[in-house]
Every structure is written in structure tokens, then in C-alpha cells.
Amino acid sequence: MTFIKKRISAFNSAFNGLFNALKNETHLKIHFVACIIVLIAGFYFKISINDWLWIILCCALVVSAELVNSAIENVCDLIDKNYNPKIKYIKDVSAASVLVLSLFSLIVAFLIFKKHF
């Protein structure tokens, strides 16, 4: 029974992290709203199952990257609140990963929805 309680506790921690991040991270809120808009558009335009797979994958990747970016930024701020060029580099690279995935997702959304306009 202890094993099951530990697994449930791990899920609680993960959901707690997600809800705290949604409450505190503005960029994550923006990505979540964008995902909701795209999901609504997918239902409205009745996209194919393959298109749904791409949309869900893109949403998961962008939200996950934003969560990791937020975690990295918070750890860096904990380590050194003053300007540090190495920490700036780490934060910039982390933010770049979100940018790359966001642009990729935008291209995917364009390719999926262009036939509906």
C-alpha cells in the first residue's frame, strides 16, 4: 500500500506544480490560452485525427518547455539575484527553447488551419 500512496503523492506534487505555475507565470497563462483557442478551433473546423495529434503534441511541447523554462529561471534567481552573465546566458537559452517550440507550433497550426480559410 505504501507504493500506491507514493505514486499518488507524486501526482499530487505534479498537479500542485502545474497549478502554482499557472497562478504565477504569465507566459504559461498565455500559452495555455493559445492552446485552448487552437483546441476550440480544432473542434469547430472538425480537423482530422492526424491534425489532432500534431495539435496536442505542439501544445504539450510548448507548455512543457515553458514549465522547464520557469523552473530554470526560478533556480537561477535562487542561486544569484544579482546580474551574472552566465546566469543570463542560461536564462536566454532556456527561453530560446520555448521560442523555437512556439514558432514550430505556429507553423503547424498554420498548415493545419490554412485550408479552412
CATH code of the domain in which 6 resides: 1.10.287.3610
Q: What is the pLDDT of residue 5?
A: 81
The rounded distance, in Å, linking the Cα atoms of 108 and 79 is 37
- Are 42 and 55 in contact by the 8 Å Cβ rule? The answer is yes
d(CA 35, CA 41): 10
Residue-averaged pLDDT of the chain:
94
pLDDT of residue 100: 98
Q: For position 77, what pLDDT does the model report?
A: 95
Q: CA 44 to CA 72: how far, in whole Å?
A: 37
C-alpha grid cell for residue 74? Answer: 526560478
DSSP string for 22-71: HHH-HHHHHHHHHHHHHHHHHHHHT--HHHHHHHHHHHHHHHHHHHHHHH
Task: Please check the confidence at residue 1 and state whether its pLDDT lies above 80.
Answer: no
C-alpha cell at 1: 500500500
pLDDT at 27 over 80: yes
Instruction: Quote the number of domains for the chain.
Output: 1
* pLDDT at residue 4, as a whole number: 81
Domain membership of residue 106 as a residue range: 2-116
Return the closest-CA partner of residue 73 out of 34, 24, 35. 24
Stated pTM of the model: 0.89
